[in-house]
Amino acid sequence: MVSTIDLLPNVSYGMLNQATNGFSQGNLFGSDSFGSVYKGVLHPKETLIAVKVLNLQHKAASNSFMAECNVLRNIRHRNLVKILTCSSSMDYAGNQFKALVFEFMTNGSLDLWLHPEIDNENQSRDLSLLRRLNVAIDVASALNYLHNHSVPPIIHCDLKPSNVLLDNDMVAHVSDFGLARLLSTDDSSQKQTSTIGIKGSSGYATPGIVFQILFKF
């Protein structure tokens, strides 16, 4: 399989370092064991971006990077996060650097709306039942596309509220395909075995996320 790095326009470490103000804590948007996500502005077009920097100390991070690249290079849907470019280079210290660059979702993750920070006085987030229903429909639409209209079919494997992002119009976009699986359309045995076992975060396998969206008050 041809590497996605050869198919997408590449950006340098320096460009992303500048865009995120040196990957500053003030621009840190979230993190997990696989890496950290930073908000940034990519010059010269002043494009608002989210930069997912892989933690290459984690033994599975490189595989996660390639898995996400291979999934996102061929899929397009209004309810999937859009990848803009990627970076595979060296940082200023000569260390290997890998990052994915996405369009920035101004309203953050669904998780932040379902579990607002009580100590944040400026946070006034509320999801009405109608808005929750719309988000659930958006997520279902994304999954329908991945399972039934993508070639090959794609299984997300880690669908949870923190991986559902909301844009300026509160339209939901499914993100984080680091654990996703591509299923062969020609080999039925692979289809059957690819989904054996539970991957990703426990408690969020579908339809668990639907209950989270609709019934978390």
Exactly one of 32, 91, 111, 158 is catalytic; name it. 158
CA triplet 136, 108, 18: central angle to 5 degrees?
Answer: 145
CB-CB contact of 166 with 105 (8 Å): yes
Facing residues of 38 across strands?
28, 51
User: Does the active-site annotation cover 126?
Assistant: no
Residues 159, 170: Cα–Cα separation, whole Å: 18
Catalytic residues: 158
